[in-house]
Amino acid sequence: MTDDQQRMTDDQLVEEALQGDSVAFGQIYDRYAQRLALLLRSYTDDNSQVEDLVHETFCRLMDALPSYRPRGKFRSWIVTIALNVGRKEARRKRNESRFHRPDSMDVLSNPPRGDPHELRERKRFAEALVRSLPETRRLVVVLRYWLDYTYDEIASCLDIPAGTARRRMHTALKELRHLLQQKNEEEDAHAK
């Protein structure tokens, strides 16, 4: 890959990919695969399943690429594709087990203190908390804090007004604080 390809905009890479340039499509993959994995992790904590969902996202992207029109931002478009893949997976899980409600409290067990793996455990703890939120609020948190999107970009991806994105974030943070407080109270009661 040349320096020129690394400096190309997303829209330029799309044009090259549409001309059959597999290196350009690879560059798109390199730019977005990790971000999409973070987003799709909000649907599952299974690493191999996240990889499968990223792969499915890029397969759908490849099929949809000819219909892309550079009116908005490419990254909003690719995130929308990934969200659809994630939502499809969530529906599949729901249909697999109608009465199974993902209970992140099992995963939220007391993160070990002083353990060399504490940081990884805290990350899993936070991911499980975020996954326990309803999708409308979970996606705003993931896009804002995990992918560093602005509220305007979030609004574009989710097709909602920016004010709605802010309100959802406010509600999500309030819910997360409540969940943390509940967990701390459970730990205190368990310790007695």
Shared-domain flag, residues 2 and 96: yes
DSSP 8-state assignment for residue 114: S
Mean pLDDT value across the chain: 81
Shared-domain flag, residues 96 and 119: no
Q: Note down the domain range covering 172.
A: 104-192
What is the pTM for the complete model shown? 0.64
Shared-domain flag, residues 86 and 3: yes
Supply the CATH number for residue 123's domain: 1.10.10.10
pLDDT digits (tens, 9 = 90+) for 5-32: 568 898 999 999 989 888 999 999 999 9
**Residue 81's pLDDT band (cuts 50, 70, 90):** very high
Shared-domain flag, residues 5 and 84: yes
Shared-domain flag, residues 158 and 70: no
Q: How far apart are CA 177 and CA 27, in angstroms?
A: 39
Q: How far apart are CA 76 and CA 165, in angstroms?
A: 15
69 has pLDDT over 60: yes
Q: How far apart are CA 142 and CA 153, in angstroms?
A: 12
- Among 100, 116, 136, the domain boundary falls at 100
